Amino acid sequence: MEPERLPLLKVLDSPFLSLDGTSVEMASLLFLFLAVLVVAGTTWQRQWTRRAVQAVSAVVFFYVVYSCLGVFGMLRNAFHGTTLLGSVYSESCFWMALPVVAASVTGVAGPVFCGWICPTGALQDLAVALRNRLPKLRARATGPRLLVLGAVCLVFLALLVWLSVEKKMFVEDSSLHWAMGVLALCYLVVAGLVDDQAIRGLRLLSVGVILVTAVSRQLITSPTHFAFSSRGDPASALATLIIVLSSLLVSRAFCRYLCPWGAVTGLLARFSRLKIAHDAARCDGCNACNRSCAVQAVELGQVQVDQCQLCFACIDDCPKSALSLVDTWKPAPRPVETAPQKA
């Protein structure tokens, strides 16, 4: 028996029907940002709170925002929104809203999107948690191990080709290029042919590719757009799976090497109001901060702002409380001035 009245959600949605009902997506994401800004300030059980927010975010992205409001789409949509400025304002605002909100929040409060909201990051964190519980996965890569790993990758690639040639499913999608790129970089890092820190700049290459394709109207697919949850897109599902598995080799590998949004937030974070400060007097050099950081953005208390994802793990794990969150916009307390004494 269907309800007699219009569901409340639809009442709220109806003014935006012309925008294809996407206001629900927008509202959920804005709510996520607001929730993060509120809860990130509390120190009680912060990492568990972060995981809870990530879980909610993953649900939102899978079941509500299942499409191009993901990592790549945000950049592409922002560009598309600019092309509508001057003629169709509300539609322009719609396309630009999430990127503008995400960029603004990053500029003000740091890259909380990466550390708290991004569903790709959440899925990779799951793989990292698994990796931390399996010592064999963390063991040093040796020749035979690398050969086995390479063979597994090739077999996986052969499986993809077989799926495609036999028409089991349609996987020929550009999202696989991104995913296989991450896997290849992870393999090179594990094999020692490439240094982790040296290739972090590749994220800018991703930004370039996204912008060039957006400007030239070439349509490429993101490995992280989660369309597979709504319309059965096996290529995106496989690409996401590969990215998650890559995190078993190098934690949050996609964030480190190829995430275009990560590169943008990294640049914006330089101007962020909130920053992580290091108190050298308290630091005893145990490097617990480095061990807790999923993207190795901190060493001996020194934080790389453009790599940090503001998950606060380093602050929470520091045994000496040498790291803290500071508000750089807050004026320093003025020294107490005493009135000049009269002679």
Rule CB under 8 A: which residues touch other proteins?
Answer: 2-3, 6-7, 10, 14, 17-22, 67-68, 80, 83, 87-91, 157, 161, 164-165, 167, 170, 172-173, 176-177, 180-181, 184-185, 188, 193-195, 197-199, 201-202, 205, 217, 219, 221, 225, 227, 230-233, 236, 275-278, 299, 301-306
Please identify, using beta-carbon distances, which residue of 127 and 189 lies nearer to other proteins. 189
Please identify, using beta-carbon distances, which residue of 35 and 100 lies nearer to other proteins. 100
Please identify, using beta-carbon distances, which residue of 35 and 209 lies nearer to other proteins. 209
Q: Taking CA 8 as the corner, what is the angle to CA 7 and CA 11, rounded to the nearest 5 degrees?
A: 95
Please identify, using beta-carbon distances, which residue of 55 and 300 lies nearer to other proteins. 300
CB of 308 to other proteins, least distance (A): 9
Cα separation, 145 vs 139, in Å, equals: 10
At 166, give phi and psi (nearest 5°): -80, 0
Please identify, using beta-carbon distances, which residue of 180 and 249 lies nearer to other proteins. 180
Please identify, using beta-carbon distances, which residue of 54 and 236 lies nearer to other proteins. 236
CB of 194 to other proteins, least distance (A): 5
Render 279-318 in DSSP notation, one character per residue.
-TTT--S--HHHHH-TT--EETTEE-TTT-----HHHHH-
Please identify, using beta-carbon distances, which residue of 42 and 87 lies nearer to other proteins. 87
Cα within 13 Å of Cα(303), Cβ side? 29
CB of 303 to other proteins, least distance (A): 6
Looking at residue 67, the DSSP 8-state letter turns out to be S
CB of 336 to other proteins, least distance (A): 28
CB of 172 to other proteins, least distance (A): 4
Cα separation, 32 vs 26, in Å, equals: 10
Render 91-136 in DSSP notation, one character per residue.
HHHHHHHHHHHHHHHHHHH-SHIIIII-HHHHHHHHHHHHHHH-HH
Strand pairing report for 302-303 and 298-299:
antiparallel
CB of 3 to other proteins, least distance (A): 7
Render 222-289 in DSSP notation, one character per residue.
-TT--THHHH--HHHHHHHHHHHHHHHHSTTHHHHHT-HHHHHHHHHGGG-SEEEEE-TTT--S--HH
CB of 199 to other proteins, least distance (A): 5
Cα separation, 99 vs 167, in Å, equals: 37
Please identify, using beta-carbon distances, which residue of 51 and 164 lies nearer to other proteins. 164
Q: Taking CA 259 as the corner, what is the angle to CA 255 and CA 263, rounded to the nearest 5 degrees?
A: 95
Is 271 in contact with 214 (CB distance < 8 Å)? no
| Kind plus residue range of the DSSP H or E element containing 210 | helix 202-215
CB of 213 to other proteins, least distance (A): 13
Cα separation, 93 vs 136, in Å, equals: 49
Please identify, using beta-carbon distances, which residue of 172 and 284 lies nearer to other proteins. 172
CB of 60 to other proteins, least distance (A): 16
